[in-house]
Amino acid sequence: VRSSLTGIHAGLFCATNPHAFFAACDAPFLKKELIEMLLAEIEPRADVIIPETSAGFEALCAVYSKQCLKTVEQQIIQEKFKIQQFFNKVRVKKIAGKKLREKDPDLISFFNINTPDRLAAAEAIMRGGSV
């Protein structure tokens, strides 16, 4: 089954470090500074370091601990592929929008291209437009 959760499982399974950063493949404006800030938030008491904006959790722009691997496996075995169902089973450290805006004022890191309209908007941004 193809889902973001199975991708996170594969990444954690293969990770050689205790934590791994995961990003969506359709987020072309992801800022290095935002990633660095999330990585700097790693601590032993957190299994997931995740941005939280007014739109909710940004699950595919987050840091996951290898400690999550068994929980992710259980979700997949139970055919519960929604990442949101996973967060109540692990220790989550939320990074609020205000702090995120220090590194990414427009939160453009979370802009994704999943429709033709969003592609057109991304092209406009690349030509110098705004979000």
| pLDDT tens track for 3-56 | 899 999 999 999 999 999 999 999 999 999 999 999 999 999 999 999 999 999
- Give the pTM: 0.91
Average pLDDT, the chain: 94
Measured CA to CA, the distance from residue 49 to residue 65 in angstroms comes to 9
Q: How far is CA 88 from CA 10, 71, 93, in A?
A: 21, 11, 12
Q: Read off the pLDDT band of 118 (50, 70, 90).
A: very high
